[in-house]
Chains A and B, each alone.
Chain A
């Protein structure tokens, strides 16, 4: 089972919007509406920011939004802020035999 494909890095200026793509196959992203996104900061526990493609957990900023089309999911961060710098990983459910596959990860830099 191969990792989902994400761009290695994305950058933007404060206030701008950026998007991070996550490309899988018809066996994972294309088959299930169970795409989630995680934010990682060094020394801190990873944080769930999107689940079920587009749902935000309680407490997560409205500036984070998710969508999906065919085998590709997208995370959009609007109104970019300095605190948004970090690593972002997508994840998809892929069936009961091998439930989860993560993306390759994207480093977000706020210029």
Chain B
């Protein structure tokens, strides 16, 4: 059974960098035709896809965030990570990581989410 778990600081100061990690169990992140995605939900608002990385290492991003976001992976730790630079209050949200099979173009397994507050 595939499981995902997000981790990272719950509080980030404005203009600083948000860094989150998703630990994956039950599936090697560098195997199969699978993308690994980050999705966020600001309080009271809808879901927003942030970015993803393919099992082969290629990343793609939401155009609205592309200049500030990086998704990377560590095969030795079976983790993938999100880095978001120059954060503002608008980046305050619940952040989810999700497994994203290439053939489905859907998110079939999600982590429980981690809340990030951007505040001084």
Give me the interface of A with B, judged by CB distance under 8 Å. 1, 3, 32, 34, 36, 38, 43-48, 51-52, 57, 89, 91, 93, 96-105
Known contacts A34-B105, A89-B47; A99/B60 CB under 8 A: yes
Q: Map CB proximity to A onto B88-120 as digits: 1 under 8 Å, 0 otherwise.
A: 000000001010000011111111110000000
Name the interface size band of chain B.
20 to 34
| Inter-chain contacts of B113 with A (CB < 8 A) | 45
CB distance from B72 to the nearest CB of A (A): 18
Chain B interface, >50% SS class? loop
B46 interface neighbour in A44, A93, A96, A104, Cβ under 8 Å:
A104
Contact yes or no, B110 A46, CB < 8 A? yes
Chosen A-B contacts, 29 in total, with CB atoms closer than 8 Å, are: A1-B63, A1-B64, A3-B46, A32-B105, A36-B106, A36-B107, A38-B47, A38-B107, A45-B96, A45-B110, A46-B47, A46-B96, A46-B98, A46-B110, A48-B106, A48-B107, A48-B108, A51-B105, A52-B105, A89-B46, A91-B47, A91-B107, A96-B60, A98-B63, A100-B37, A100-B49, A101-B49, A102-B46, A104-B46
B45 to chain A, nearest CB (A): 8
